[in-house]
Chain A
């Protein structure tokens, strides 16, 4: 668990990150925030608050217009696309809302893909352990098309965990799931943090999903609009209603 750890306290740190698209559309407006290791943080905000941009910048998928992102102790500024790709492969895990898996590959092949891309031989026992952990031990030879939505998200989590990443980013991981399945998947994410000290950053607009996290960070109009520790769904929903000037919009989101 300590190999490759950098002796910095934070898994991800953003310093005055600003991101503009095209002419004057500001998605992130000077965001500074640090995510400690071993924590489960939810990033919340209404539509258009900059959640997705925040995730892209923090994970090295996109480059900020200005400011600094330090991921696992490494400054992403000025790094080449290939460098960032390799960093993502080795140190970052992703779980997206949908279309997480390659439909041509079996469950097991999808899970070990990041290792293979890095030219590493997958450790059979580790893979078996992770698949058991996400509850898919019996389905390793299935194709994604043969799985339910919840099972597909579990496969995505398994793939995100297989490289033992410094951070696991989840972008609306339960957005396409029914409530019971969503609860299973969120439980699994929380379990990963509790059991093995995994760092998880999850973007969501669902207060119930956010309540599984240790802490909730609120975003509005591209800025941090507050934090909430040990959240409950009610408290989160309450906060969301009064975010920024967009009360009514927030309620709908």
Chain B
């Protein structure tokens, strides 16, 4: 059967073009997502600042979180742990550097401190001059003495200039003593201070961000470090220089897995559609094959063979181009700060292999669907003039639909009954797919029923052409359903994803605003000196002021079964002091309980529960004293001060007084709106990623729908010809086709809305207690418009082409 398949393919290239295109774009997206995933897994970041040190020692940035309560486990049982990445920089003790100097063979050990420093208008990283060898920088001029600075050549300063530098919450003036030149391109400009100035400005004297080791072998260094840190060489050193890459790498993996998986599922739908269409159009040929002795099994193998050959060709082209799309996507993600731009896009052979495997699997699954239909072709159909419409409801279709609807309903019940807060969105993706699968399984019947329901409005607005179009849609329900399914899928996925996103944003903004009792904010991106709090609190008209620190903490003891590897969001405020902590009721602790926490940089600390508060589901957090939390963040200081106005003081007065009081400090003063806007901006990244994903799936579906409809309509040349011979004008035929396109769009939009409702409604019930999502209605209207325009264009252009020339020629028999 394979040779037959090959020969058929060679002659009937056109009939398989749709399948080729569908597999090509599907495999392309999967391959590109595979590339993103590989990039995320490798997290390869070429080292910049630490390039000269062959061995780099960094802090232990991960720890093991037990998956089960260690207290209730049998000592014999195997303890399961998950590796958790600490969000704040874990620093090394300076004593470690001294120990490493004693390791035989080590020629030099250089400790690195790195802190945010504002050099005039430019942002830079500050270091101690003695660590310049880690890059290494070449010096023109003098090494800095206290009060002096060596500046990056890129800053455009000259020796002798005076430079105001804002770091660690204060501004100082430094004389430029030299210019440093880096051997390669650097992301961040560097400022080098004397060792004593650097200690002071970093805020953590005696602790290093990393230690570079020259000479000596890795094993000896590793032994000397023990569990005080981790030892890296080669490309792994990048993870020490840019620790943020670890978390964004994980995000990239999730993002790639979700979009790749979704594309693969959509691909099964689309390819099943194109293959079914091409077998339907060859009905007579298949019937002839059955008549002259082709067994159903052989016919299935032939369909599979054809599909596989087309699939392999399409996949081969796609995996070659996959890295190109992957690289582009990565560039976009980096440009929108979803991933750090120091991460290097890396796509090896593995994503290509996975993409090829997944795509071919999708093709096999799809050809199973199409092959089943093909093998059911009755041999007597070879003798009949017109192809008989296939049955629209088979037991398999019905069972599939029932199972999918049951699954979708179960997910909805679980969402409403069990889930709380934004995490409820996690069931939405599978729910959309289940509802879509279910409806797709019975789509011909559903198409028929919906067409019947729509017949009133259609008849009202159009005459005979509308009636014929209705009949065509109903009688050709199986064919129509082939076009309806992908549009339904696109409408469903797009609507669900976009409105889940907007609803989530709305809820998050609402939760933030609810808790926000501030009227103004004093923000210092490089951190606020603790003395600022006193200065601000003393400003007349200020009712209260508090530092505002955000981080993450992990509950060590007593064991917290609710905690996942993201830990608990933590907030540091000045109202709390000592080791008092405010916990959400969800944690299940009482006032007076003692908790063992692990702060964002891994430091263990014992705290006492001072209050238990109930918080909005999904936005629970622990509130700690700012003085306890801030030193254990990467910045080391609070980045914001929230200020409440006293009775009778308006915002404008308050902010202008705050500006006066903080004059000369490296801070900015904003009002409540500025705070809320900044919070909303943080959500934009998530939104952007979601829209990118939806856009990609949508583009894929659009391509598939267009090529399916174009193919199906072009093959109706004969039918259109007959209609014209029986008295239809060309305009009437086109109008009829237009009504058909409109019907397809209407049915698809109706069903797609139903599919998305299956996911959105339970989610909205959980997070907003309303049936409808929050978000502009315009998005839905745009989705509708796209669906309608798409169906009309895809049906009218080929219909226009098919009705060119004389009607009589179109009706002549022939393939």
Contacts and interface: CB of A to CB of B under 8 A. Distances in A.
Interface string B378-391: 11101100000000
A99 B293 contact: no
Interface stretch (A79-87, A193-201, A204-212, A232-240): A79-87
B381 to A, nearest CB: 10
B449 to A, nearest CB: 23
Contacts of A104: 7-8, 10-12
Contacts of B418: none
Interface in B275-294: 284-285, 288-294
Interface residues of B, number: 27
Interface in B1-56: 3-4, 7-8, 10-12
Contact of A100 (B11, B288, B293, B296): B288
B770 interface: no
Contact of A96 (B11, B293, B383): B383
Contacts of B383: 52, 56, 96-97, 171
Interface string A105-132: 1000100011011100000000000000
A118 B298 CA distance: 10
B233 interface: no
Interface string A128-167: 0000000000000001010000000000000100000000
B564 interface: no
A62 interface: yes
A117 B294 contact: yes
**A-B residue pairs, 5 tightest by C-beta:** A89-B293, A104-B11, A104-B8, A85-B295, A61-B379
Contacts, number: 76
A74 interface: no
Interface in A8-64: 52, 56, 61-62
A103 interface: yes
B290 A85 contact: yes
A98 interface: yes
B301 to A, nearest CB: 11
Contacts of B380: 56, 61-62
Given A56-B380, A103-B815, A171-B383, A85 B285 contact: no
A249 interface: no
A98 B297 contact: no
B298 A117 contact: yes
Given A61-B380, A62-B380, A109 B7 contact: yes
Contact of B292 (A56, A82, A94, A97): A94
Contact of B11 (A62, A103, A171): A103
Contacts of B11: 103-104, 143
B293 A86 contact: yes
A88 interface: yes
A159 B295 contact: no
A90 interface: yes
Nearest to A102: B285
A145 B293 CA distance: 23
Nearest to B814: A145
Nearest to A104: B11
Contact of A102 (B288, B290, B297): B288
Contacts of A109: 7
B293 A117 contact: yes
B293 A118 contact: yes
B292 A88 contact: yes
Contacts of A85: 290, 293-296, 379
B7 A99 contact: no
Most A CB contacts (10 A, CB to CB) among B11, B288, B380, B383 go to B383
Given A104-B7, A104-B8, A104-B10, A99 B294 contact: no
Nearest to A99: B284
B677 interface: no
B813 interface: yes
B644 to A, nearest CB: 81
A25 to B, nearest CB: 15
Contact of A98 (B4, B292, B296, B813): B813
A52 B383 CA distance: 9
A62 B380 CA distance: 7
A105 B11 CA distance: 8
A85 B10 CA distance: 27
Contacts of B297: 82
A234 to B, nearest CB: 29
Q: Which of B7, B295, B382 has the most chain A CB within a 10 Å cutoff?
A: B295
A226 B631 CA distance: 109
Nearest to A103: B815
A52 B10 CA distance: 34
B282 to A, nearest CB: 10
B7 A159 contact: no
B295 A82 contact: yes
Contacts of A56: 380, 383
A62 B285 CA distance: 18
A113 B7 contact: no
A124 B10 CA distance: 24
A18 B509 CA distance: 76
A158 to B, nearest CB: 12
A2 B297 CA distance: 31
Contacts of B291: 61, 88, 94, 96
B288 A99 contact: yes
A90 B293 contact: yes
7 contacts: A56-B383, A81-B295, A86-B295, A89-B294, A102-B288, A105-B7, A114-B293
B293 to A, nearest CB: 2
